[in-house]
Amino acid sequence: MFKDRTDAAIQLAKKLEMYKNKNAIVLAIPRGGVPVGYTIAQELKLPMEIVLSKKIGHPRNPEFAIGSVSMHGSIINDTAWDVPHEYIHNETERILKGLEEKFKLFMGNQKPADLKNKIVIIVDDGIATGSTVMATVEAIKKSDPQKIIIAVPVAPPSTATKLAKMVDEFVCLTTPILFQGVGQFYRNFSQVSDEEVIQLLHDIKKNQAAL
């Protein structure tokens, strides 16, 4: 049981100590991942920004993912064999526009970081199914980073096993069998607002500039 997101982040930062002051970046999944990423970035003296991704739904079943889009690229799965190219193109453009608007809301006019040859640490406050993180990882791989790490406080064993196979390093503090939701492992799991995300991103940028 974690006291709050800051407590979980401090424990994670200790596991990531070897990346302090390295050529690395913390990518936080909003909203809940941002307070975790903020503390990790502070502890390791690394830059941080948000990472956004969204699935492309099948035209006949929007819940069924045929690919994903992020600010770092798009991935189309083999399951899209029967989907018209025009639909994929239009959905990719529509989703990307939405992500760009959301990125601007949180990051202002800042452009997404160049991840080539960087150590990328993807952070969230916990993972349930892992679909968002998987989409994020697949897109980030196209940016040719040196190493991809997922760092989270909690995830169910099945999800942890899947994610560990996708990345160079998977850091998770606890993988409980009895998993109903991320919030059950926090004493304080209050909702994170857009305003709080924007403030934390502003603070980390100001702190990094002062180093």
Instruction: Specify the residue for token string 């975790």.
Output: 36
80, two tokens: 């899209």
Distance CA 168, CA 171 (A): 10
126 DSSP assignment: -
Q: What is the pLDDT of residues 186-210, one digit of tens each?
A: 999 999 999 999 999 999 888 776 6
The CA distance from 75 to 67, in Å, is 5
**Residue ranges of E strands in 14-83:** 24-28, 48-50, 53-58, 61-70, 73-76
Encode pLDDT of 78-113 as tens digits: 878 899 999 999 999 999 999 999 999 999 888 899
In the predicted model, what is the mean pLDDT of residues 49-66? Answer: 89
**113-140 residue pLDDT tens:** 999 999 999 999 999 988 888 888 988 9
Q: Where are the domains of the chain?
A: 5-51+114-210, 54-107
What average pLDDT does the structure give for the chain?
92
CATH 3.30.1310.20 applies to domain 54-107: yes
Under CATH, what is the fold of the domain 5-51+114-210?
Rossmann fold (3.40.50)
Distance in angstroms (rounded) separating the CA atoms of residues 150 and 122: 5
Domains 5-51+114-210 and 54-107 alike in fold: no
In this prediction, residue 149 has a pLDDT band, given cuts at 50, 70 and 90, of: very high
